[in-house]
Chain A
């Protein structure tokens, strides 16, 4: 595996294309230098070479396709799995002054969609959801324009081993071919070997240039603390928040916990605290997200529903109140700290009682045998139909199947060959459940081994990803003698302004510009 050292790479270069890329980096995006990996990705793309790039969360992945957008003739098409992620990317490009950027997703009104498709040749960047890319009308419109770069963002979604598997990612290679096989860039954050092989296989990137950055984020110190029970966890968390730097994110395993901790923090400390989880109305989620981005919150208690696409550079502390089921997710979640390069801290608390949680979470991803058989039989008898996918999902969920498990069933029965009864897929389904479950349990046991390990946290984490630790930052981890008091807030770091609650002042602040 190629490695670069941690210093940023100066932009000066003898290669004229790279020199141009450096100009764009400075003038459009306002950075002085490339970050590790960016330059190698960009120069390969500019030389029309496919690239598979693995770069840790928060390392500036998007620059890798944004800069070629200004140097290659034609459209840069970026496939992105999440609406929030797309929106965020569009906003950050617009803020850099780019007007020729759009996002094409099911959330657009019909008129808006038509408008976008009509003007494809006028855009520089088009973000698109994988399901949109499967629509014949969209594909044929894309065939009419020159796509210079085909970007697959969050490419780990293509892997069945990945924890965020998206079946509609499986069709991307085909779509790319139909567009005349433009140069492809597959981007992913931390992914282990198996996931990487899956990505490369599915996207036919065997001959691509591979840029694999270390998953390590040296500016994030790692601490794991064992506690007796939840009560002690809360006590420790409050003590930590009392002195450590914000803004902070506290990851919890459930909606209830995010709300409970918010209450605890609010009543014990005078911090601006809010919760965020998937059960909230989408408008409310957006409000909380904006408050956090705008620096109106000190602490955010959230489930893993919060994260992807959140581009806040100055998060100083990530707490895991419950540990995630795999190291990938852990790295992704702590990777939201310190994107500005500033020193940050990640603290994970665990107690024996947490060990039950992830297993039941994994099990809830799959239907049990009885349920599976029952659904297949009802499909054969015509009591259930899959034409209306939404209806199918809702019905199963009303019978107590989780959303993920319902999607699993749907995904399997859709693959059934014609003329064969649904029940014939039963054994295959079970085998798949067993396989995936075993894999996830394996991931989980790695996570646990890491938590209980006695070696340097950074070293052992890298080990799981097949890397060796090349250098150890001064503030490394609890095993290397790190003390949380190294991260004390200065007296001068005060919590920011409170919410403006007087309606007249608030309205004035909102609607009257500064220059009045």
Chain B
């Protein structure tokens, strides 16, 4: 469990009592809604977003309870259902930091939206080829998700070479890709792959077999996936087969936000978009904040004047918080929540590093 503490305490430290426990949970799960997305940028914890997407709430609560029992946490005074580190907790986190690091691959977050789908496609492709080259044309597929099934079928159809050769190519490319990262990551990833006469292991099983913390195994797995997707997108020429499994068209924006972005690029105003898409103003605002966070050269000026932006930044540097309510109070309501969020989003890259 200590790796679980390492992850949890780090986030508690980073949020410093300004976000609820649910906020931390949703960040780890990678919930596609405004708050966790925004948090991941504003608090510089992007690598954690969607890093434990299979985490169950009761599992998360167990980590929290245990940390609480050990007196590493105390209730926060600025946010309900929120905690911050005690001195003891901070000291223990420092010890853990000397022992553990986050795997490098975790920082490669450009294809976060594709993670789940890419991983399922990879598993199904390997399983299908494995069964085929061993002469079995019927098997129980690892996933039944229609979109995944369709795209693997497509992958196999557009590759006009025989199955044995294709399997050989996939083997070769996968070996090369995995050899670029640490063996730990490769073992966790390949251990989960299923095929002829070989059922993939669950993360829980791998954690027992490798005698490693289950949270660490999950992080290693995630790092391996992110590293692979990064290589496949930046060096697709070197991996002509596998790179077809990665949908590179999809950026980091959530699906709905990217649609809003299209309207903005066509010159539509906030109200017009809200009407055209039959979505509330608040939802469109969420999208614009997400776009501001994730798009480098996005101009916020239609929604945020230079003057308001300046005053928000001044307050932030004075009271060192990213809690909207406190900022708004200090500004005597001269800025709306939307403007504050936008200003924070615009300057998200300017304070504090991630690592």
Name A's B-contacting residues (CB within 8 A): 83, 87-88, 90-95, 107-112, 266, 274, 280-284, 286-294, 296, 499-504, 506-514
Contacts and interface: CB of A to CB of B under 8 A. Distances in A.
A464 to B, nearest CB: 35
A87 B143 CA distance: 12
A326 to B, nearest CB: 29
B133 A512 contact: yes
A511 B209 contact: no
B235 to A, nearest CB: 20
Chain A at the B interface: SS class: helix
A511 B195 contact: yes
Contacts of A88: 140
A509 B198 contact: yes
Contact of A501 (B130, B170, B199, B209): B209
A94 B140 CA distance: 11
Interface stretch (B200-208, B273-281, B288-296, B312-320): B200-208
Nearest to B190: A503
B147 interface: yes
A503 B191 contact: yes
22 contacts: A87-B140, A94-B137, A274-B202, A282-B144, A286-B140, A287-B199, A287-B202, A289-B199, A294-B199, A499-B201, A500-B198, A507-B175, A507-B178, A507-B193, A510-B126, A510-B130, A510-B193, A511-B129, A511-B133, A511-B168, A512-B133, A512-B168
A109 B137 contact: no
B142 A109 contact: no
A286 B54 contact: no
B52 interface: no
B190 A507 contact: yes
Nearest to A87: B140
A283 B193 CA distance: 11
Contact of B202 (A92, A284, A502, A511): A284
Give the 5 A-B residue pairs with the shortest CB-CB distance, closest first.
A94-B138, A109-B146, A291-B199, A290-B199, A503-B190
A503 B189 contact: yes
B194 interface: yes
A78 to B, nearest CB: 16
Interface string B23-54: 00000000000000000000000000000001
A30 to B, nearest CB: 15
Nearest to B171: A511
B207 to A, nearest CB: 12
A280 B202 CA distance: 10
B186 A503 contact: yes
Contacts of A108: 146
Interface string B83-106: 000000000000000000000000
Given A91-B138, A500-B198, 12 more contacts: A87-B140, A109-B146, A110-B146, A112-B150, A284-B202, A286-B140, A287-B194, A290-B142, A290-B194, A296-B198, A511-B129, A512-B168
B138 A111 contact: no
A513 B164 contact: yes
Interface string B170-191: 1100110010000100110111
A468 to B, nearest CB: 40
B175 A504 contact: yes
Contact of A499 (B168, B191, B204): B191
B267 interface: no
B325 interface: no
A87 B126 CA distance: 19
A511 B198 contact: no
Interface core residue of B143, B183, B190 (most chain A CB under 10 Å): B190
A289 B194 CA distance: 11
B233 interface: no
A281 B203 CA distance: 11
A89 to B, nearest CB: 11
Contacts of B150: 109, 111-112
Interface string B104-140: 0000000000000000100100100110011111111
B198 to A, nearest CB: 6
A286 B200 CA distance: 9
A109 B154 CA distance: 13
A92 B137 CA distance: 11
A311 to B, nearest CB: 10
B237 interface: no
A288 B146 contact: no
B118 to A, nearest CB: 14
Contacts of B209: 499, 501
B76 interface: no
A294 B197 contact: yes
B129 A296 contact: no
A410 B142 CA distance: 32
Nearest to A279: B56
A503 B178 contact: yes
A107 B147 CA distance: 10
B323 interface: no
Contacts of A282: 143-144
Contact of B187 (A283, A292, A501, A514): A501
B149 to A, nearest CB: 7
Contacts of A292: 199
B308 to A, nearest CB: 41
A512 B171 contact: yes
Interface string B220-245: 00000000000000000000000000
A287 B178 contact: no
Nearest to A92: B138
Given A510-B193, A514-B134, A283 B143 contact: yes
Contacts of A510: 126, 130, 193, 195-196, 198
A281 B53 CA distance: 12
B45 to A, nearest CB: 25
A490 B102 CA distance: 48
Contacts of B142: 283, 286-287, 290
A377 to B, nearest CB: 31
A287 B196 CA distance: 12
Contacts of B190: 503, 506-507
Nearest to B164: A513
Nearest to A99: B137
Contacts of B174: 507, 511
A503 B209 CA distance: 13
Contacts of A91: 138-140
Contacts of A288: 199, 202
Contacts of B130: 510-511
Contacts of A290: 140, 142, 194, 199-200
B200 to A, nearest CB: 5
A362 B172 CA distance: 55
A288 B200 CA distance: 8
Contacts of A87: 140
Contacts of B208: 266
Contact of A294 (B171, B198, B206): B198
Nearest to A281: B54
